[in-house]
């Protein structure tokens, strides 16, 4: 009953409240992003959601559009300035995702939504992560975030999808607050972000 009905009610109520209460913070971040990183302020990207349906994910921009002499975008490390790193380490860049939650495309807790091009690379077991709505945070995030390997992350995602409970979600949200305050697991070792998923376990 919680997963089928009450989880969505809580998601809607809490995301609407968060958007209202955090609107001054989001407005301030938007102005700073425009000044320091340029426009557009919101980074929009297609991700895979519940039942493998695509949707548009919203985040605050954290990278510049710096290019080399040939016009090609520079590597992520070169386009991620200190201000962008700060937004990621504090998770302020993810505040617009409350809008995705309000629309029903995401949940407060669930597997993080990934790129559609990964779909053919999943094993049948890994595809079960899409049996639930993707989340702003999830079991894999509180167990190590991007410091985990892909295989470890997917095992936690599938474990969550198989057993969704109210108290489990409460524990994950509480652990997420601690994780954000400690700024742990933001990126994978040796990389500005998470490496590409190529289908290995």
Please tell me the predicted confidence (pLDDT) of residue 190. Answer: 47
Residue 182, Cβ density class (10 Å: 0-12 exposed, 13-18 middle, ≥19 buried): exposed
Whether the per-residue pLDDT at 189 is higher than 50: the answer is no
How does pLDDT run across 23-63, given as a tens digit for each residue?
Answer: 999 999 999 999 998 889 999 999 999 999 999 999 999 98
Please list the residues that pair with 42 across neighbouring strands.
60
Query: Contact, 161 vs 131, CB < 8 A?
Result: yes
How does pLDDT run across 5-27, given as a tens digit for each residue?
Answer: 899 999 999 999 999 999 999 99
How does pLDDT run across 59-102, given as a tens digit for each residue?
Answer: 999 988 777 777 777 777 778 889 999 998 888 999 999 999 99
How does pLDDT run across 103-121, given as a tens digit for each residue?
Answer: 999 999 999 999 999 999 9
Please tell me the predicted confidence (pLDDT) of residue 114. Answer: 95
Residue 135, Cβ density class (10 Å: 0-12 exposed, 13-18 middle, ≥19 buried): buried
DSSP H stretches of helix in 6-149: 7-21, 23-36, 76-79, 82-90, 97-102, 139-142
The pair of three-digit structure tokens given for residue 168, joined into one six-digit string: 């489990």
């Amino acid at each position: 009953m919680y997963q089928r009905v009450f989880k969505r009610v809580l998601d809607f109520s809490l995301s609407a409240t968060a958007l209202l209460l955090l609107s001054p913070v989001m407005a301030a971040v938007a102005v700073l992003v425009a000044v320091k990183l340029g426009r557009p302020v919101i980074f929009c990207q297609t991700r895979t959601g519940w039942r493998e349906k695509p949707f548009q994910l919203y985040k605050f921009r954290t990278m510049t559009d710096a290019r080399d002499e040939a016009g090609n975008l520079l590597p992520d490390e070169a386009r991620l300035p200190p201000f962008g790193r700060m937004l990621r380490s504090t998770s302020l860049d993810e505040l617009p995702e409350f809008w995705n939650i309000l629309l029903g495309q995401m949940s407060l807790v669930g597997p993080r939504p990934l790129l559609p091009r990964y779909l053919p690379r999943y094993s049948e077991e890994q595809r079960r992560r899409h049996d639930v709505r993707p989340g702003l945070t999830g079991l894999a995030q509180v167990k190590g975030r991007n410091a985990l390997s892909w295989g470890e992350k997917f095992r936690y995602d599938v474990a969550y999808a198989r057993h969704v409970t109210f108290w489990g979600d409460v524990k994950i949200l509480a652990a997420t607050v601690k994780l954000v305050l400690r700024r742990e697991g933001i990126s994978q070792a040796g990389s500005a972000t998470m490496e590409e998923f190529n289908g290995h376990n």
